[in-house]
Amino acid sequence: MIIETGSITTAEKEGGGSRRMVMKKDETSRRASWSGIAEQLEYWIESGRLQAGQRLPSEESLAKELGCHRDTLRTAIRCLAGEGKLTRRKGSGFTVAMPRFRRNLYDFEPLWYFLQQNRRQFTSRVISMERLKPVPRVARLLKLNEAGEAYRLCRLRFLDGTPAILETTYLSALRVRDLERFDLAKNSLLEIMATEYGIYADSGNQTLSITYADEMEAELLQIPVLQPLLLLRGVTRDDYGIPIESFSAVIRNDQFGFKGILRAGEPDSRELV
């Protein structure tokens, strides 16, 4: 008689007597198998055995060295690719991703400043800029009245020549008149606001979550549709507490990462949005 209970199968010999217990292979054991392979590959990357930009060895040789089935290896590789540790190129398989730029979530200086400090090339391309009546959520964040208009600026950001961030910024049209006269592909928006309009960024808040690339985002960022992306949203305020900008950015997680620094005994007065 065979009695199945969860992941354990109990087999009882006919005629009574002894029993034997057989573990049934379930999803947990399979997951442990490929996760162990993923950890080994990740260790090779961190230890330098696999260098950034290096193409992975063939599936056959890797599976043989790691002592696993090729299907198990493929699952581990897909996992690491989803985490941004491997990248896939058409016709050349998987390669080790370049080290991601990691930024503290609480840092307030412009992104280009930190990239320059780390000797990374950061460039931009303006996708669109228009003056319009914003949706109610944006109008509320910018504290605009019913007739208030805003500039919507969409820029594609490149890290070392690779499209990495698609950023959309809304600004009160009343506070930054004739913004279109500036080259926002080559100049810092916050610097223009300070030098040309006398508006100085002083504080802000932001939230970080996950989204998935739609067709337009996938095309601009040169990634597959529905690839996971980081979604950063926030508001920047001036030294009077008045909102300067409302922004959102979809970010390739194989190019950027974020970290938080926690300290015990220090109360945090930051507001959540």
**Side by side, which strands form the sheet with 2-5?**
2-5, 8-12, 19-23
Cα 78 from Cα 90, distance rounded (Å): 15
pLDDT of residue 112: 66
Say which residue, 18 or 209, is predicted with more confidence: 209
pLDDT of residue 1: 35
Q: How confident is the model at residue 16 (pLDDT cuts 50, 70, 90)?
A: very low
Residue 104: pLDDT above 70? no
- Tell me the pLDDT tens digit for each residue of 90-100: 677 899 987 77
Do residues 179 and 207 make contact, with C-beta atoms less than 8 angstroms apart? Answer: no
Residue 32: pLDDT above 60? no
Give the residue from 124, 123, 187, 189 showing the smallest Cα distance to 152. Answer: 189
State both tokens at 144.
């605009």
Do residues 127 and 154 make contact, with C-beta atoms less than 8 angstroms apart? Answer: yes
State both tokens at 118.
């780390």
Give the residue from 196, 179, 188, 190 showing the smallest Cα distance to 244. Answer: 190
Mean pLDDT, to the nearest integer, of 18-46?
Answer: 66
Lookup result for tokens 């996708």:
127
> Which one-letter DSSP state was computed for residue 129?
E
Cβ neighbour number for residue 57 with a 10 Å cutoff: 13
- Tell me the pLDDT tens digit for each residue of 187-217: 999 999 999 999 999 999 989 899 999 999 9
Q: Kindly report the average pLDDT of the chain as a whole number.
A: 82
Cα 214 from Cα 223, distance rounded (Å): 10
pLDDT of residue 105: 63
Q: Coil, strand, or helix at residue 130?
A: strand
What share of residues in the chain are helix, strand, coil (percent, to 5)? 25, 35, 40
Cα 22 from Cα 9, distance rounded (Å): 5
Cα 84 from Cα 75, distance rounded (Å): 14
Alpha helices in 101-228 (DSSP H): 111-117, 136-142, 189-197, 215-221
What's the one-letter identity of residue 217? E
The proportion of the chain whose per-residue pLDDT surpasses 70, expressed as a percent, equals 76
pLDDT of residue 54: 92
- Tell me the pLDDT tens digit for each residue of 56-75: 999 999 999 999 999 999 99
Q: How confident is the model at residue 250 (pLDDT cuts 50, 70, 90)?
A: very high
Lookup result for tokens 């944006």:
138
Cα 156 from Cα 167, distance rounded (Å): 6
Cα 166 from Cα 125, distance rounded (Å): 10
**Strand pairing of 122-132 and 201-212?**
unpaired
